[in-house]
């Protein structure tokens, strides 16, 4: 890129930081400019903003993948209903509590209950899980990531003590959503769920995959507009990675470069956002999570699921850390984070408003 164009590209980053806004055309440019100096500048500004809000602290979330049964058939996902090769499992309440015990002793103060949309996990069962975790560990936050439910169910979970809810919107473009999901799934309903979660009072997380099949830069611009308007407390962004038992088996994965760029842009758009350096990012690049932290992410989510089920919660191929004990995971994660100059803290890690 010639010098004038490049200096105007850097100026775009400054303006994004200052105004938390750009025109659609400018977002497009930011997302497609592959110049190295530009990428480094964007990441450096995102890091500066992150340090202004959160200092050098990295928040820890313990991910408990408590069921891989799912009634949905998302085309990209390895635990989709029609994947007969997935070995299904559910953790008992006791097993979930045991994972929390292990996690608490290791310094985790947030537990994320994630799973497929499993009809066995009735509202009563989820309420009971939340109640038991909160009774045993009142100084922790409970995050749910169990998909789309009725408003009344979300309300019951909140009343039982759930603090946060992760429901990636996946894509803010309806036609793209309909490409990625079968006809019985609804873009409008997913978006409605997010609004209901917000109204109830949860700290809400949405997000999207970088490089999902059929994704165009225009779709990502729409994602950024949606984030700008919805102002989620958390945004989960990771690369799409193919799973061998899906129709997208031979699609290329999302790139590290695009994922990092999205993290940085979202950091500048929403300075207080909680942004995880995801496992998927660590899967496509051995240093992916470190790079994510250096591009504006401030959260890590090591796996707290019991080792015997980890290999079964496979949303995509080659997922990392499936063989490790929780203690090993956290030791490894601490070392990784410290090498970036940041530090994992023992805290619920709530949103800074
Ligand atoms: N059933 C819950 C949790 C879904 S799994 C829900 O509906 O919200 C969490 C996230 O993993 C999904 O939202 C999706 O963005 C991501 N995911 C699924 N398949 C993936 C793949 N092949 N590559 C990368 N990320 C994937």
Which residue's entry shows tokens 């480094």?
40
Work out which ligand 1 atom sits closest to the CA atom of 246.
22
**Region 256-268 average pLDDT:** 98
Residue ID of nearest Cα to ligand 1 atom 7: 147
Greater model confidence, 46 or 8? 46
Q: Ligand 1 within 6 A of 238 CB?
A: yes
Q: What pLDDT score was predicted for residue 324?
A: 85
Interatomic CA distance for residues 338 and 331, integer angstroms: 11
Q: How confident is the model at residue 3 (pLDDT cuts 50, 70, 90)?
A: low
Domains of the chain listed by start with CATH number? 23-344 (3.20.20.70)
Pocket lining: 256 vs ligand 1, CB cutoff 6 Å: no
Banded pLDDT at 33 (limits 50, 70, 90): very high
pLDDT, one tens digit per residue, over 158-167 is 999 999 999 9
- Nearest-CA residue for atom 24 of ligand 1: 240
C-beta 194 within 6 A of ligand 1: no
pLDDT score of 2: 61
Q: Is the CB of 241 under 6 A from ligand 1?
A: yes
Residue 352: predicted pLDDT: 84
CA–centroid distance, residue 6 to ligand 1 (Å)? 36
* Chain position carrying tokens 């603090």: 163
Each residue of 238-269: b (16+ CB within 10 Å) or e? bbbbbbebbebeebebbebbbbbbbbbbbbbb
> Average of pLDDT values for 56-67?
98
User: CA Rg, the chain, in Å?
Assistant: 19
The mean pLDDT of 54-82, rounded to a whole number, is: 98
User: Which ligand 1 atom is at minimum distance from the Cα of 170?
Assistant: 15
DSSP of 262-297, one letter per residue?
Answer: HHHHHHHHSTT-B-B--HHHHHHSTTHHHHHHTTT-
> What pTM, to 2 d.p., does this model score?
0.98
């Amino acid at each position: 890129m010639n010098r004038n164009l490049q200096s105007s590209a850097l100026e775009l980053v400054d303006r994004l930081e200052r105004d938390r806004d750009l025109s659609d055309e400018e977002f497009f440019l930011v997302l497609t400019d592959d110049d190295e100096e530009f990428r480094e500048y964007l990441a450096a500004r995102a890091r500066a903003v992150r340090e202004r809000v959160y200092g050098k602290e990295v928040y820890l979330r313990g991910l408990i993948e408590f069921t891989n049964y799912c009634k949905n058939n998302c085309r990209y996902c390895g635990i989709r209903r029609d994947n007969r090769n997935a070995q299904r499992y559910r953790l008992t309440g006791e097993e979930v509590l045991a994972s929390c015990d292990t996690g608490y002793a290791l310094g985790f103060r947030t537990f994320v209950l994630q799973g497929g949309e499993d009809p066995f996990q009735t509202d009563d069962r989820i309420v009971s899980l939340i109640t038991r975790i909160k009774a045993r560990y009142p100084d922790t936050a409970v995050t749910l990531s169990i998909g789309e439910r009725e408003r009344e169910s979300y309300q019951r979970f909140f009343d039982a003590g759930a603090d946060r809810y992760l429901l990636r919107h996946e894509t803010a473009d309806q036609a793209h959503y309909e490409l990625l999901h079968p006809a019985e799934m609804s873009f409008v309903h997913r978006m409605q769920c997010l609004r209901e979660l917000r109204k109830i009072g949860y700290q809400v997380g949405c997000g999207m995959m970088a490089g999902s099949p059929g994704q165009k830069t225009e779709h990502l611009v729409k994602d950024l507009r949606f984030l700008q308007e919805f102002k989620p407390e958390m945004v989960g962004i990771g690369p799409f990675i193919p799973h061998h038992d899906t129709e997208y088996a031979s699609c290329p994965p999302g790139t590290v470069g695009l994922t990092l760029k999205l993290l940085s842009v979202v950091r500048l758009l929403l300075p207080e956002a909680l942004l995880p350096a995801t496992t998927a990012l660590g899967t496509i690049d051995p240093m992916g999570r470190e790079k994510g932290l250096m591009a504006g992410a401030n959260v890590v989510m090591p796996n707290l699921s019991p080792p015997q089920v980890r290999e079964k919660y496979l949303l995509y191929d080659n997922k990392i850390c499936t063989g490790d004990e929780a203690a090993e995971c956290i030791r490894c994660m601490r070392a990784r984070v410290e090498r970036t100059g940041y530090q994992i803290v023992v805290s619920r890690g709530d949103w800074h408003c």
